[in-house]
Structure 1
């Protein structure tokens, strides 16, 4: 492989790594507070709730490991809200 190809590959790897870092999610269960009414009273989720569920999806498995959050996140209504928002519930 030519030196220019190796340099190009190195640049691409660095750019992809940077993109992954910038797209990282900060896991914060409080971000899902906009979904509480939809989960506890079975009212339709708001657009904000759906955007927060999509944003926090990578964190759901972590939340399921927390005994204080598991009963909230793993409830049938929470799964229904996630489904309504078009966010498949993760298989942890």
Structure 2
């Protein structure tokens, strides 16, 4: 229980340290800030929006409806989150893969 609490505290602190959301842009081939996805142009990438998923990711339980909704909304951002050292451990965890699969969201291939 102490580990889960510690992970949640670290996630909240990291979320506070990185508050500025970014926009996911379509891959036009001429910008270096592209996500590589052309589907959800204009999605605001904000890891704090995935907080409903923390219990499922850290505890291994089933994801909630709001969690799945946010994962689908933030799907184009997952690759960027996976590349960020602050969030990579959450995206690459075995529980995260289970949550993504349960929600019908493809694991990001970056």
TM-score with structure 2 length normalisation? 0.62
Q: CA deviation at 1:50?
A: 0.2
The separation in 2 between residues aligned to 1:23 and 1:48, in whole angstroms, is: 21
List structure 1 segments (4+ residues) > 3 angstroms apart after TM superposition: none
Q: What CA deviation, in whole Å up to 9, does each residue of 1:11-58 have, x standing for no partner?
A: xxxxxxxxx8x8521000000000000001111100000000000110
The answer for the alignment partner of 1:40 in structure 2 is 58
- The count of corresponding residues between Structure 1 and Structure 2 is 72
Which runs of 5 or more residues in structure 1 are unaligned?
1-19
Structure index of larger Rg: 1
User: Highest relative contact order (Cα 8 Å, sep 6+), 1 or 2?
Assistant: 1
Aligned partners of 1:29 and 1:58: how far apart in 2?
Answer: 12
* TM-score normalised to structure 1 length: 0.73
Corresponding residue of 2:104:
86
Q: Separation in 2 of the partners of 1:91 and 1:23?
A: 18
Between Structure 1 and Structure 2, the one with more helix by share is 1
Structure 2, unaligned runs of 5 or more: 1-37
Instruction: Give the whole-Å Cα distance in 1 for the aligned partners of 2:53 and 2:60.
Output: 10
